[in-house]
Amino acid sequence: MRTETAAVEWEGGRVSAVWHHPAHGRTYLVLGHGAGGTMFTPELVKFSEALAGRGIGAVRFNFPYAEARRRAPDRQPVLEACYRVVAEQTARSADRLLVGGRSMGGRIASHLVAAGFAAAGLVFLSYPLHPPGQPDRLRDKHLYTITVPMLFLQGTRDAFARPQLLQRTLVRLPTATLHRVENADHGLRVPGRSSDEVIAELVEATVSWIEDLPR
């Protein structure tokens, strides 16, 4: 496994990125961070490192607001433009490209794929189906236009995705797979379990799912 730090530039600016290259194989997963995090969020780093150790390359990056150390996320068109450039750059080194990320990062990836960006699949670490306490504001309409496989890694105590609403959504998504993390919150933290233990579960679920994808 080899780690490479680089900058990604486009007309909208410049952000940092880290590539986790596997020892063998050219399957890569691009991972956007959550609204309140950065590409250095510890769990995102551990997840990326562990994936590369299992033969799946991972690319994490900052959105522009995180790069500038601002708290408020950029407008969605800016987030999508940034993600697209990172994904396009990664695709040049990949035989098979997947996209996704943590919460907001995964949601932005899904909008790209819904708009036609070519990817072999989507991996969501806590998809934010609705804002906390606002289950009537579902972020699901674009998901029904996506035809590639989708993996949802969701905690059963996630305030951003009530289990019943998530299940109702997934029933309408024939390409979706759900992996529940029992008692996990939106940050995929589980009382009584270490972060490393939970990450190992997430990585195992992700690698198994990717290995079963059609070539």
Cα 115 to the center of its chain, rounded Å: 17
CA-wise closest residue to 58 among 110, 4, 105: 4
Mean pLDDT for the chain overall? 97
pTM of the predicted model as reported, rounded to 2 decimal places: 0.97
What pLDDT, on the 0 to 100 scale, is given for residue 69? 96
What pLDDT, on the 0 to 100 scale, is given for residue 8? 96
- In angstroms, the CA 192 to CA 190 distance is 6
What pLDDT, on the 0 to 100 scale, is given for residue 106? 98
Strand (E) or helix (H) holding 108: helix 104-114
pLDDT of 206 above 90? yes
pLDDT of 215 above 90? no
Where in the chain are the domains? Answer: 2-211
- 74 — phi, psi (to 5°)? -65, 165
Mean pLDDT of 43-55: 97
Tens-place pLDDT, residues 106-136: 999 999 999 999 999 999 999 999 999 999 9
Which CATH number among 3.40.50.620, 3.40.50.1820, 3.10.129.10, 3.30.70.2860 corresponds to the domain 2-211? 3.40.50.1820
Tens-place pLDDT, residues 139-174: 999 999 999 999 999 999 999 999 999 999 999 999
What pLDDT, on the 0 to 100 scale, is given for residue 32? 98
Tens-place pLDDT, residues 181-204: 999 999 999 999 999 999 999 999
